[in-house]
Amino acid sequence: MPTLSTILAAAPARDALAALGRLLRRSGYRFATVTPATHRRVNARPGNALARDLRGVFGWSRPWLAGTLAPDVDALLRGAGLAAPCPGIPGAWRALVRASTIGPQLYFHSAWPTDDDDAVFFGPDTWRYLAAMRRALDRLQRPVLRAVDVGAGSGAAAIELALRRPRATVFGADINAAALALVEVNAALAGAAGVRPCRSDLLDGVDGGFDLVMSNPPYILDADELPYRHGGGMHGAALSVRIVQQALARLRPGGSLLLYTGAAIVDGADPFLDAVRPLLDAACRDWSYEELDPDVLGGQLGCAGYEDVERIAAVWLHAVRRP
């Protein structure tokens, strides 16, 4: 079966997805994407094997049978290659994308389960990231005219920033072609004209300085090394350390780094904070670091490589480059 990246490389598929997004918004569609564990449990309940409505199809990623969707929606999905037959259920189809809402905005991302290398993840971390970003925008010390979201994924943060800073050019940077296609579609749906999808390995693919660098990178040590989950060494913190290093080198004087990530706590210590503290002290006028949630992804502690970790904290870093 073609990958999501291959499907969305075709303009007709992106056009069809945009048309679907407009239809969902007109219908009043709302869906809050949950953790994979919650998703699995809810879908396993009696009566939830098949979708009965739009939320079942595009939120819970359940297969549907003929007659569940309006004929034009069904034809739109199949014609654009955005649906595939569901193995084991004759006549059933599954959408290859999900749609989630935060506030008035709708964001497309990958269908559940997110097992593919080009999966575009969206979930509770996205909510926390956007909430922290909104609070931080009121405390920025430099006007935002040029910004970048490193590892943009669905584009949610880049879009939210562009809507709040309409004079800014906001690069949605990612190495994943499916993510960049979804940034394009989601930004158009939101009317966020300042967003620019950009293929980039961290900041290597975009030039110049920035008033704001922000990121919600992968922060898990993932045995399968799925790009949307795997943060590399240091229990998954290595990628976040690289982002801090590159961001501090590219921020304009008075510019800010906003980073939402996870920190594996070992014997009460935070190795991620220990690694970035010297960088921050050397380059920043001031910086703040806080735990937004002391215990996320508790199930990860049962995985190889986490034997010495007592918890994973969701953390927020706001650093201001020294003039």
Domain at 187, CATH number: 3.40.50.150
For residue 317, is it within any domain? yes
Specify whether 59 is located in the same domain as 146: no
SS3 for 204? Answer: coil
Domain range for 157: 124-321
Specify whether 143 is located in the same domain as 283: yes
For residue 117, is it within any domain? no
The C-alpha atoms of residue 278 and residue 124 are separated, in whole angstroms, by 30
For residue 68, is it within any domain? yes
For residue 84, is it within any domain? yes
Specify whether 102 is located in the same domain as 210: no
Check if the beta carbon of residue 283 is closer than 8 Å to that of residue 321: yes
Specify whether 149 is located in the same domain as 73: no
For residue 116, is it within any domain? no
What is the Cα gyration radius of the chain? 20
Specify whether 140 is located in the same domain as 181: yes
DSSP state letters, 15-82: HHHHHHHHHHHHTT-------HHHHHHHHTSTT-SS--SHHHHHTS---B-TTSS-HHHHHHHHHTT-
Work out the angle at residue 131's Cα, subtended by the Cα atoms of residues 178 and 118, and round it to the nearest 5 degrees.
Answer: 15
Q: In the listed set 110, 132, 149, which residue is the last one of a domain according to the structure?
A: 110
Specify whether 278 is located in the same domain as 162: yes
Specify whether 197 is located in the same domain as 88: no
pLDDT in tens for each of the 323 residues of the chain?
789 999 999 999 999 999 999 999 999 999 999 999 999 999 999 999 999 999 999 999 999 999 999 998 998 899 899 999 999 999 999 999 999 999 999 999 999 998 888 999 999 999 999 999 999 999 998 999 999 999 999 999 999 999 999 999 999 999 999 999 999 999 999 999 999 999 999 999 999 999 999 999 999 998 888 888 899 999 999 999 999 999 999 999 999 999 999 999 999 999 999 999 999 999 998 999 999 999 999 999 999 999 999 999 999 999 999 98
**In terms of DSSP bridges, do strands 311-321 and 251-265 run parallel, antiparallel, or are they unpaired?**
antiparallel
Specify whether 56 is located in the same domain as 168: no
The C-alpha atoms of residue 27 and residue 140 are separated, in whole angstroms, by 37
In terms of Cα–Cα distance, which of 31, 26, 75, 35 is closest to 57?
A: 31
pTM exceeding the 0.85 threshold for the entire prediction: yes
Specify whether 57 is located in the same domain as 178: no
Task: Give the helix ranges, DSSP H, for the chain.
Answer: 4-8, 11-26, 36-43, 54-58, 71-79, 124-137, 156-164, 177-190, 233-236, 238-250, 271-283
